[in-house]
Structure 1
Amino acid sequence: MSEAVARRGFGAAMAPYLRPRPFAAFLLGISSGFPLTLLLGTMTFWLAKVGIDKKTIGFAIGLTTPYTLKFLWAPLIDRIRLPVLANLVGQRRAWLFLVQALLFVSVWMLGASQPELHLGVFAFWAIVTAFLSATQDIVIDAYRIEILPDDELAHGTATNQFGYRTGNFIAGVGTIAVASSEGLGLGWGLGYGLTSLCLIPAAIAALWMGPGLHEQTVRRGGRGWFTDTVVSPFREFFRRRGALLILLFVLVYKLGDAMGQGMLNPMIVELGFSDTEFLAINKVVGLWGLLIGTALGAPFLAWLGMGRALFVSGVLMMLSNATFAILAMQGHSPTWLFIAVATEQVTSGIGLTVFATYLSGLANLAYTATQFALLSSFAVVGRTWLSTPSGYVAEEFGWVGFWIVTMIVALPGLILLWVLWRRGFVVEQARQPTAEEGTSPPQKLTP
């Protein structure tokens, strides 16, 4: 009997994956995920291939700074209605279609920039692409949260992360396969350009789902445009207990993982792996690890609760970096590359789903775009500015020492999580908008 109950429980936990809105969240994730990989993983691989040194590659990650600042213009995305287009398709979708059109152009220009010859031109288009991609994320994150009801939030976030990782996979493996001389050999310009077609899935999802469920709720008046647009979203968040501690936790939780991801591809190039070896392992191991890790995300939350899920997934992501340290010790070892990639994909799939669900739960639906942009901006500061010295760390300590350092810098996030837990600060805020700011009842950290 207990086995039957367990099977029914597992089936019930997995069933929401098949509903329309979580699937739409998957499509949104594809379009959201691919630009960042073009600006990080694929970019660092490209720069290493054309002879750019590790230190420059490390600081090139700083070109994604717009991701850390997007909360500054998120209130405008939340509030300003685009003439004509917003009346036709709604606020969120109007911004989505406009930004996607501009992003399509910038990705093509980035791919054609030839960094080995024109590093300044490359940097310009990287920044433009990062700005437009960050703006697309503002829209997609708000739209995703608004179209998902509470009982589908965890599963919709999981499918969104699966879509995000699928976009990562296409932009990483797919772009390199198109561009590399060991693949189709069509060059980086066409590789980047074809990858920009990943914008289409989000457009399809938006046309399919229609306007966000809460678009009318967020249009509040009577207190002045500036107050309603800029002041209220931040004031509502910072009035919560433990708000500053939560932001600090968001800032450092994935720092070790971010440092590792920024320098992974340069290490693979330096260890002598061919493009064919890199692509083959990522095609098979990376894809299946992605499927397994992301699919486990929502049940992982259901079984452990938010607090334990954050802690366990944080420990798993930290330990996965140890496999890359072993790979660095082994040198050119396809077996250890296989093990390291598999471990990283599964643990990151779980961790990203848990963390994204956590951030989604903190965003009040009255100010979805602004508050989620604030939280996710803090989350990516570690990936950009705090991880930019990663090239110097790798240069100073070697690859084995570098991966050990990434494990050490993951510890503060776990310590802060323990502090949050002990103090009983808010982890999940009620998502529904309220008549008055700050009146939604906070929930404690789920044990």
Structure 2
Amino acid sequence: MSATHSFSDTLSYFKNRRLLSVFFFGIASGFPWVMTGSAMSGWLKDEGLSRSSIGLFGLIFVTYSINFLWSPLVDRLKIPFLTVKVGQRRSWILLTQLVIVIATFQLSQVNVVDQLSIVALFGLLIAFAGSSQDIAIDAYRIDILSNDDSNYMTAGSAMATAGWWTGFAGLGSVPFILVDQPNWQWPEVYFVLATMMAVLMITAFVVEEPNNDREQILNAIQNNYLLAMPNQGHRPLAILLILPLIFVSIIYANIGYPAWPVSFISTDYQLILITLFIISLLFIFSQQLSRLNLSIRHDQNSNNISVIRFSHKLTAWLLATLVAPIQEFFDRNGKHLAISILLFIFLFKLGEAYLGRMSIVFYREVGFSNSDIAYYSKMINWATTIVFSLIGSVFTIRYGILKGLFIGGIAMASSNLLFAVMAVVGPDKLLFAFTVFVDGFTSAWGSVAFVALLSVLCNKTFTASQYALMVSLGTFGRVMLGSYSGIIVDWLDGNWALFFVLTAFMVIPSLIFLYSIRKPLTALIEKNDRESKGNVTSQ
């Protein structure tokens, strides 16, 4: 396995030129988080908004936690004119990047105090386009590396992580440096950010489109569903109705339960009731789908020719596009292990989310200037992350993904305690530099192993859908629950030290859960690794 690789053999994986495109796409993937994250928080803070308002503004990042709902469309829908010219992956990347540029430019034309709702709207548009861009970029990365030794996936994860942090932390220092200059205001800063995003679009024009047979496989799956539809009565219609109900329920829960009937049902039961409703729909849907799959296997041996209607074609397309990726993930891993994997993904970075969302507000309240934040929080974090993401990937290639996850998780919990020390000591620049250095190291190490795990777990036919599903689940904890970080700080009467101690403890449950599934997860990773090497040998 990976533990047998020598140090020189491990480093040889980084000589692949395709990793350079992964790095630059990583920059483009991390940069939108600046526009709607740290820069937006700084802008809102300068305009006098409260901590709770700034924290709740982060709800626009919910799009990153639910982008799996439309991720299969990135595999199948073709962008008019663009797809024919540049291919499926690059056309989606270019479209989403163009939307980000336009929306960011529009933010440079508004007044935050008088047009807060407009700012939120364009922020949401950037987050939606950014989350959709991530789907296409992640699928591109997995597609170009999936036919090689699986250790290339770990190297690619390191380059993607280094690129993401370059966009988020490296380029993310630019707005804070600019806004501290004389005569610079936040609207002008956002014009610069739009220009920078436009420059990042160059990568999608110069890289090659990955080749695969995904479309043929998906068409075959769709045809199997279609042949079984005419003999199912009203079951296709039931499936067609249940699917959007599930999606709408997930979106409804993520946007804060609007128009909830508080006069009849207390808001305390929102999460429980919606969860039970979604689970019930999933149970009914799985039963209908199981019967449909049995019919497919039966009809494959039958020569009966039935009338195929439009509803049959639409249902078959939806099933092949939206359902088949999820069904394959559960069939391949087994229901118990699949659910266990998804639960670990949800828990792993929960503590980091609470810390990250309020970090800028914390730095400002402790007494650091915008320039201090730019040079210490952004630049040091950026350099540290790049170095340690590469070091972490070398360790992961040699000794395995699970060991990388354990070390990264423990280190992330420990680093959060340094922020508690900062809250007690005050604006000490040396302590600030040391804290962000350690935080960058732990985040990089954990992120590389985390991304490598998700990449290895994907089936090559459903890379966009399955990777987005797992990433969205992890992002749900970081975005949806992390949005309440400001409320927690207010509830603690601004006790930042206690807040950061709580975030450290949030990492522990995920490590306990990872330990409980270590054996089946290791067996699964080794199996996927052997299959990848077998594919390389057969070529």
TM-score normalized by the length of structure 2: 0.75
> 1:190 Cα deviation (Å)?
2.7
Which amino acid letter does the alignment assign opposite residue 502 of structure 2? V
Aligned 1:119-198 pairs, distance under 5 A? 119-148=116-145, 149=148, 150-178=150-178, 180=179, 182-183=180-181, 185-198=183-196
1:344 is matched with 439
Instruction: Report the CA distance between 1:283 and its aligned residue.
Output: 5.7
Check the 8 A contact 1:62/1:385 in 2, yes or no: yes
**Could you report, residue by residue, the CA deviation over 1:337-375 in whole angstroms, capped at 9, with x for unpaired residues?**
111111111111111111111111111110111111111
SS of residue in 2 equivalent to 1:195: helix
Distance change >3 Å, CA 431–CA 217, structure 1 → 2: farther
Q: Deviations over 1:245-297 (max 9, x none)?
A: 11111111000011100011101000111122222324652233123222212
Secondary structure of 1:386's aligned partner: helix
Question: What percent identity do the matched residue pairs reach?
Answer: 29
Shift of 1:156: 1.3
Q: Which residue of 1 aligns with 2:211?
A: 213
Structural RMSD (CA) = 2.5
Shift, 1:22, TM fit: 0.8
CA apart distance, 1:431 = 8.4
> 1 CA distance for matches of 2:81 and 2:218?
21
Q: What is aligned with 1:437?
A: none
Shift of 1:404: 0.5
Q: Which runs of 5+ in 2 are unaligned?
A: 225-315
Whether the 8 Å CA contact 1:30–1:198 is kept in 2: the answer is: no
Amino acid at match of 1:399: W
**Alignment pair present for 1:50 and 2:35:** no
- Structure 1, unaligned runs of 5 or more: 1-5, 435-439, 442-447
CA distance in structure 1 between the partners assigned to 2:497 and 2:405 by the alignment: 27
Aligned with 1:372 (options 467, 490, 493): 467
Q: Which residue among 216, 226, 229 is the counterpart of 2:318?
A: 226
Question: Corresponding residue for 1:103?
Answer: 100
In 2, distance between residues paired with 1:122 and 1:84? 31
Map 1:42-441 to 2 at 5 A. 42-148=39-145, 149=148, 150-178=150-178, 180=179, 182-183=180-181, 185-199=183-197, 203-214=201-212, 216=214, 219-221=217-219, 222-223=223-224, 224-239=316-331, 240-241=333-334, 242-282=337-377, 284-397=379-492, 398-421=495-518, 424=521, 428=525, 430=528
More deviation, 335-344/13-22:
13-22
- Residues 1:98 and 1:58: Cα distance change in structure 2 (over 3 Å): same
Give the drift of 1:174.
Answer: 0.9
Given that 1:112 and 1:188 are in contact with CA atoms closer than 8 Å, whether structure 2 keeps it comes out as no
Q: Secondary structure at the match of 1:383?
A: helix
CA distance in 2, matches of 1:216, 1:345: 37
Divergent runs of 4+, >6 A: 431-434
Could you tell me how far 1:10 is from its partner in structure 2?
2.6
| Counterpart code for 1:238 | F
Identify if the C-alpha distance between structure 1 residues 318 and 153 changes in structure 2 by more than 3 Å, giving closer, same or farther. Answer: same
In 2, the alpha carbon distance for the partners of 1:433 and 1:36 equals 36
TM-score, normalised with respect to structure 1: 0.89
SS in 1 for 2:28: helix
Sort the Cα spacing of 1:111 and 1:219 in 2 relative to 1 into closer, same or farther, 3 A: farther
Q: Give the 3-state SS of the residue equivalent to 1:263 in structure 2.
A: helix
Q: Which amino acid aligns with 1:417?
A: L
Q: Could you give the per-residue CA deviations for residues 396-425 of structure 1, whole angstroms, max 9, x where no partner exists?
A: 331001000101111111111111115557
- Seen in structure 2, the aligned counterparts of structure 1 residues 116 and 172 have a Cα distance that, compared at 3 Å, is farther
User: Separation in 2 of the partners of 1:77 and 1:116?
Assistant: 37
How many pairs does the alignment contain?
Answer: 428
Tell me whether 182-191 or 51-60 shows the greater mean CA deviation: 182-191
> Is the alpha carbon distance of 1:354 and 1:193 closer, same or farther for their aligned partners in structure 2, counting shifts above 3 Å?
farther
Decide whether the 8 Å contact of 2:29 with 2:167 is kept in 1.
yes
Structure with greater proportional helix content:
2
Query: Rg: which structure is higher?
Result: 2
